[in-house]
Amino acid sequence: MPKKKYRAGTASIIGLPNAGKSTLLNALVGEKLAIVTAKAQTTRTSLNGVWTGAEAQIVFVDTPGIHKSDNVFNQRMMRTVRSAMESIDVLVYVFDATRFVNDEVKQAIDLVKKAEVPAILVLNKIDAVKEKEKLLALIEAFRELHGFAAYIPLSAKKGEGLDELRAAIVEHLPNGPAIYPEDHITEVPSRYLAAEMIRERILILARQEVPHSVAVLVDTWEETSKLTRISATIYVERPGQKSIIVGSGGAMIKAIGTSARLQLEKFFQTKIFLELFVKVKPDWRSQPEFLNELDWRKMVGGESDA
125 part of the interface to ligand GTP, by CB under 6 A: yes
**Contact string 26-55 vs ligand GTP (x = CB under 6 A):** ----------xxx-xxxx------------
Task: Report the residue number, 43 or 213, with the smaller CB distance to ligand GTP.
Answer: 43
300 part of the interface to ligand GTP, by CB under 6 A: no
Task: Report the residue number, 85 or 230, with the smaller CB distance to ligand GTP.
Answer: 85
Q: For the segment 147-176, give every residue that binds ligand GTP (CB under 6 A).
A: 155-157
Half-sphere exposure of residue 52: CA atoms within 13 angstroms, side-chain side: 10
The residues of the shown chain that bind Mg ion, judged by CB under 5 A, are: 21-22, 42-43
Degrees (nearest 5) of the Cα angle 46, 48, 50? 165
214 part of the interface to ligand GTP, by CB under 6 A: no
CB–CB of 25/13 below 8 Å? yes
CA torsion sign, 106 to 99 to 10 to 57?
A: negative
At its nearest, how many Å lie between ligand GTP and the CB of residue 246? Answer: 26
Task: Report the residue number, 22 or 45, with the smaller CB distance to Mg ion.
Answer: 22
128 part of the interface to ligand GTP, by CB under 6 A: yes
List Cβ neighbours of 143 (8 Å cut-off, separation of 6 or more). 151
99 part of the interface to ligand GTP, by CB under 6 A: no
Half-sphere exposure of residue 143: CA atoms within 13 angstroms, side-chain side: 9
DSSP 284: G
DSSP 155: B
Q: How far apart are CA 223 and CA 148, in angstroms?
A: 47
Contact footprint for ligand GTP (CB under 6 A) = 15, 17-23, 36-38, 40-43, 64-65, 124-125, 127-128, 155-157
